[in-house]
Amino acid sequence: MKRPSPPGNRLAFLAAALWGFAEATVLFTVPDVLLSFLAQTSLRRALVASLWTVVGACTGGAVLYTLALSHPDAADAFLLKVPGVFPELIARASVLLDSGLLPGLVTGSLTGVPYKTFAVEAARSETPLALFLLASLPARLLRFTLSCLASWLVFATLLAGLSLWTRRVLLAAFWIVFYTAYYAGLG
């Protein structure tokens, strides 16, 4: 008989799915933040949360895809209201998709092109929704898995001698510096 998941795991997985959905639609902060914190105490838990994040992200991607299919101008206006999304970034998603759906999604995922821009551009290019979601699964999972592995390697193994509180402060500082640099580079 399978043991039930502890409440903390269920809450973490729900948070991961919701964050994946939010980042795929309106949020500018990537779910990697949550996943990297989870990986500090359990790589397995973080990897399972990654799966939930992908489900949430694909659901959000499907919502934006559907909006873009029926109301492309509204979808573009919606994207441009999200902090950190600008016309050049949307155009970059289009160029990456021209190089192939899966390669474009993987490259974008690893280079900071928001998934939400790909959802809108996939609809615009008349990529079938099922194909878009099928390619999204490995592209998003690769990115989230790499984030989990990197955090686990650095914070749970290399810095394992530090207290969990200290490792969390260091990780929080990393994300603050990351987003400060990211947004400074946009302006």
Q: Is residue 166 in a domain?
A: no
Q: Is residue 181 in a domain?
A: no
Q: Give the structural domain span for 65.
A: 7-152
Q: Is residue 176 in a domain?
A: no
pLDDT of residue 48: 97
The stretches in the chain having pLDDT less than 70 are 1-7, 186-187
- Per-residue pLDDT tens for 64-113? 999 999 999 999 999 999 988 999 999 999 999 999 999 999 999 999 89
If you search the block for the tokens 């021209």, which residue do you land on?
98
The number of domains in the chain is 1
pLDDT of residue 1: 54
Percent of the chain with pLDDT over 90: 86
pLDDT of residue 2: 58
Q: How many CB atoms lie within 10 A of CB 73?
A: 8
| Residue 31 tokens, joined | 């779910």
Q: Is residue 179 in a domain?
A: no
Question: Residues 55, 142, 22, 125: what is their CA dihedral angle, to the nearest 10 degrees?
Answer: -90
Q: Is residue 116 in a domain?
A: yes
Q: Is residue 157 in a domain?
A: no
DSSP string over 41-81? T-HHHHHHHHHHHHHHHHHHHHHHHHHHHH-HHHHHHHHHT
Q: Is residue 109 in a domain?
A: yes
Q: Are 94 and 125 in contact (CB under 8 A)?
A: yes
